[in-house]
Structure 1
Amino acid sequence: MHNPRFSRLDDQTPRGVRLNWPRAASFAILGLVLVWLIVSRSFVAYLAATAPEAALLLRPGDPTALIGLADQEFNANDKDKREKPEKSSAGARSLSRLQEQVETALAADPLNARAYRLLGQLAEAEGDASRTAKLMQTAARLSLNETIAVEWMMRKSFANEDYPATAFYADALLRTRPQLMDYASPILGRMAENKDAKREIEKLLAADPPWRSQFFAALGKAITDARTPLELFLSLKDTAAPPTPADVHAYLAFLFQHKLYDFAYYVWLQFLPPEQLGSAGFLFNGGFESKPSGALFDWTMPQGKGVIVDIAPRPEASDKRALFLEFGQGRVDFPGVYQTTVLPPGAYRLKGSFKGEIIGPRGMQWSISCVGGAAIGASQMFLGSYPVWRDFEFDFVVPETGCRAQSARLALAARSASEQLVSGSIWFDELSISRQPAEPTK
């Protein structure tokens, strides 16, 4: 039965905008197809990178999945000790099959850097050096994220004595994969010791790449001459990116590890600010006027438990600074304040001044010890009340052998846990070490 209500609505609908149900249905179906294509292709693209076999089930012939599958097969870890493909006729057939698979994918995706890199690996497995080089170079040119290709080009460039290219590929490798420093540092270290290649390393380091400090930390294992890092440091000293204190400190630690104490001291002097060179006597910064750098030949002042260690203005002369220690109530864990020295064999005297009050079973004490050896001199024990500045001194002798480096240390002279119960505060200043005339031979 005709409904006049719907007739009126139909009559009022403007011409040209009436709903065309067949067309609307077509657009809806098309939209669903487009949504499916977008979702499915995105999903396949995800699977191609993570699970290529599953991606191929959804879209057979997907080039990314084909390449990923071939890459997994060729570069899989040989955990079960299977024979590598290139060592048997079956392996040769496997290489051929993988090559066809990758080339099929490459035809569909001709700019795929991973495909060129994998073809390069396959060519190398077959012993085709010329084809390997071309394919690896193409892979690296298309993407510097192709780590295997970039690392291969770095090694090949170095073997060909193409040092600018070696530096370029080493930089690319370490910018994209800084964790692969162990692969690059041996080559960069050899370049640093090669007079024809060293300039390329210097230019590269002067640009201050993000991996530079990591390289300096690893350099000790990659060189044959302990002077090599110093030469690199000196080439950077007057650039916009000189070596950092951390770089120099790591190098000093390397030299100390190899007991090159005199050379370490020489290196340290090279990077002292000009205004501090005047303080570089037998004992550095004995007046505590500059903030300790933490270097081996400067004061090291670790904080302990129950003690405050600081360099502060002197109470009676704020324009002067001194070492200040304040102990709380209870047991103290004090690592000490110390500095490394490199004194030639002979007789010496350490002088200084102090004031303060220390209450406890044992007090503070300065000593000089051979690095890795026994003490060769010690001061009085600072215990009790000393309200005004007083001088102190003690003599010591650096032996002819076994004591090429020494440690000047302030420590709590406690011999047991009960003797670590200390309170009070104490100041030290004007420390110096001077050479003493040798005693006449009897």
Structure 2
Amino acid sequence: MHNPRFSRLDDQTPRGVRSNWLRPASFAILGLVLVWLIVSRSFVAYLAATAPEAALLLRPGDPTALVVLADQEFNASDKDKREKPEKSSAAARSLSRLQELVETALAADPLNARAYRLLGQLAEAEGDASRTAKLMQTAARLSLNETIAVEWMMRKSFANEDYPATAFYADALLRTRPQLMDYASPILGRMAENKDAKREIEKLLAANPPWRSRFLAALGNAIADARTPLQLFLALKDTSTPPAPADLHAYVAFLIQHKLYEFAYYVWLEFLPPEQLESAGFLFNGGFESTPSGSPFDWKLPQGKGVIVDIARRPEAGDNRALLLEFGQERVDFQGVTQTTVLPPGAYRFKGYFKGEIIGPRGMQWSISCLGGASIGASQMFLGTYPVWRNFAFDLVVPSAGCRAQSAKLALAARSASEQMVSGSIWFDELSISAQPAEPRK
């Protein structure tokens, strides 16, 4: 039965009061719904990448979870089985089921690059070459982060002799996955040795991509002709991004490692600055006026225990610099100062100047040895006190066989651990090697 008193009270309630109460409540409910949607979807998105089965329990049909699940199942299997799947009804059903999962995901997310890549892999497993190519190309076009698709397109483009496309996909692969150099360098190396393709490599390297140095370092293992890197270096020489010194030194070291000594020396000379090329002799930078470049044909100055190796200004000679070794009051252990030389067979004289004070059982000594072989000449031992500059010299003979390259070395002439206790300091400067006239035949 209607109570008129309550009707009067309702009629007397201000309309604004009801509105002020309902509006915050509505916003609060809407906010809770939005928070739930955001949290639930974010959580499902997280699970889709890490635990796709759990994501599908919360949101059946989630496209990311479907693709991740199919990807894990297909690519977690043995690689050989993926490339040559078993011809059985069970294998066919498995591939068909995975394809249904991925196609369901694509229906909800038609721009999913990973889905296209996975369909491409499934098509390849079924032997459908045409469909594989279309799907892999679509995946790579949608995302260059689809590494499998990009690597597949690189190989396919090279097989089709489409060298601009090969270079494009190789660049994309190495920019996104620089750790996959072993996959790209064999193909790029073959392009560098192909007269129809090398121009594409030269253009690619001239752009100085971030992976260039790593590629040049790996190139030696991807070529059949040791001259190939030199051709690339020469093509880059006059560009705005010429080869870095470290790249050249690595190539020279590679050639020396393979005993291509004369060619390594030629490569090094080819890239010397003109002013250094004019003064290059049998021994390089003997006055220590230029900072060692790191090349095997320049000075190597490794540090060691108990010694500081430096190139310093001569106190009495203004801007002139010289080699300085300073020893502490402890056992000395270091590899020695070295330089690789390429002296033709014949007689030579090594000479220079020194001063300093060396105290110990044994002193310092210069020597020339065949690279990896026996000594062919050695200086006096520098031991004692020499307060003023003095000259020194010794003769050497490079044999006609077994000595195509040599090593000039300054080291402590210690024969045992007890003879490594040395103190003091010593300077060397104006070092050179000159050819000696052949003795007349009798």
With the length of structure 1 as denominator, give the TM-score of the two structures: 0.94
Which residue in 2 is equivalent to 1:246?
246
Which residue in 2 is equivalent to 1:94?
94
User: In the aligned structure 1, how far is the partner of 2:255 from the partner of 2:173?
Assistant: 28
SS of 2:427's equivalent in the other structure is strand
The Cα of 1:326 is off from its aligned counterpart by 1.5
Which residue in 2 is equivalent to 1:8?
none
Between 1:183-192 and 1:314-323, the stretch displaced more is 314-323
Consecutive unaligned residues in structure 1, runs of 5 or more: 1-12
Equivalent residue letter for 1:266: Y
SS of 2:296's equivalent in the other structure is coil
User: In the aligned structure 2, how far is the partner of 1:14 from the partner of 1:187?
Assistant: 82
Which residue in 2 is equivalent to 1:273?
273
1:20–1:314: structure 2 CA closer, same or farther, 3 Å change rule? closer
Which residue in 2 is equivalent to 1:187?
187
User: In the aligned structure 1, how far is the partner of 2:353 from the partner of 2:77?
Assistant: 67
Residue 49 (str. 1) matches residue 53 (str. 2)? no
Consecutive unaligned residues in structure 2, runs of 5 or more: 1-12
CA contact (8 A) 1:345 1:400 kept: yes
Taking the TM superposition and a 5 Å limit, the aligned residue runs for 1:34-45 are 34-45=34-45
Which residue in 2 is equivalent to 1:5?
none
The Cα of 1:441 is off from its aligned counterpart by 4.0
Residue 313 (str. 1) matches residue 313 (str. 2)? yes
SS of 1:265's equivalent in the other structure is helix
1:80–1:329: structure 2 CA closer, same or farther, 3 Å change rule? same
Deviations 1:105-148 (A, max 9, x none): 10110000011111111111111111111111100000000001
What is the alpha-carbon root mean square deviation over aligned residues?
A: 2.0
Which residue in 2 is equivalent to 1:420?
420
The Cα of 1:349 is off from its aligned counterpart by 0.7
Residue 208 (str. 1) matches residue 238 (str. 2)? no
SS of 1:158's equivalent in the other structure is helix
The Cα of 1:14 is off from its aligned counterpart by 7.8
Equivalent residue letter for 2:252: L
Which residue in 2 is equivalent to 1:33?
33
SS of 2:320's equivalent in the other structure is strand
Which residue in 1 is equivalent to 2:161?
161
The Cα of 1:274 is off from its aligned counterpart by 1.2
User: In the aligned structure 2, how far is the partner of 1:332 from the partner of 1:186?
Assistant: 45
Which residue in 1 is equivalent to 2:9?
none
Equivalent residue letter for 1:58: L
Taking the TM superposition and a 5 Å limit, the aligned residue runs for 1:88-127 are 88-127=88-127
User: Percent sequence identity over matched residues?
Assistant: 88
Deviations 1:270-325 (A, max 9, x none): 11111111221100011111111111000011111221211112222113111111
SS of 2:102's equivalent in the other structure is helix
User: In the aligned structure 2, how far is the partner of 1:132 from the partner of 1:403?
Assistant: 57
Which residue in 2 is equivalent to 1:143?
143
1:66–1:264: structure 2 CA closer, same or farther, 3 Å change rule? same
Taking the TM superposition and a 5 Å limit, the aligned residue runs for 1:218-297 are 218-297=218-297
SS of 1:123's equivalent in the other structure is helix
User: In the aligned structure 2, how far is the partner of 1:138 from the partner of 1:276?
Assistant: 53
User: In the aligned structure 1, how far is the partner of 2:37 from the partner of 2:22?
Assistant: 23
CA contact (8 A) 1:86 1:126 kept: no
The Cα of 1:255 is off from its aligned counterpart by 0.5
Deviations 1:123-177 (A, max 9, x none): 1111111111111110000000000110010001001100000000000000000
SS of 1:267's equivalent in the other structure is helix
Equivalent residue letter for 1:197: A
Equivalent residue letter for 1:45: A
1:399–1:294: structure 2 CA closer, same or farther, 3 Å change rule? same
SS of 1:100's equivalent in the other structure is helix
The Cα of 1:30 is off from its aligned counterpart by 2.8
Which residue in 1 is equivalent to 2:398?
398
CA contact (8 A) 1:113 1:139 kept: yes
Deviations 1:8-66 (A, max 9, x none): xxxxx986254555554444333222211110111101111111111101101111111
Equivalent residue letter for 2:236: L
1:14–1:302: structure 2 CA closer, same or farther, 3 Å change rule? farther
Which residue in 2 is equivalent to 1:177?
177
1:434–1:14: structure 2 CA closer, same or farther, 3 Å change rule? farther
CA contact (8 A) 2:83 2:125 kept: no
SS of 2:334's equivalent in the other structure is coil
The Cα of 1:83 is off from its aligned counterpart by 11
1:80–1:202: structure 2 CA closer, same or farther, 3 Å change rule? closer
Equivalent residue letter for 2:328: G
With the length of structure 2 as denominator, give the TM-score of the two structures: 0.94
The Cα of 1:99 is off from its aligned counterpart by 1.0
CA contact (8 A) 1:355 1:387 kept: yes
CA contact (8 A) 2:353 2:390 kept: yes
SS of 2:318's equivalent in the other structure is strand
Deviations 1:339-377 (A, max 9, x none): 000001111110111111111111111000011111111
1:205–1:266: structure 2 CA closer, same or farther, 3 Å change rule? same
Equivalent residue letter for 2:166: T
User: In the aligned structure 1, how far is the partner of 2:34 from the partner of 2:95?
Assistant: 39
Between 1:419-428 and 1:171-180, the stretch displaced more is 419-428
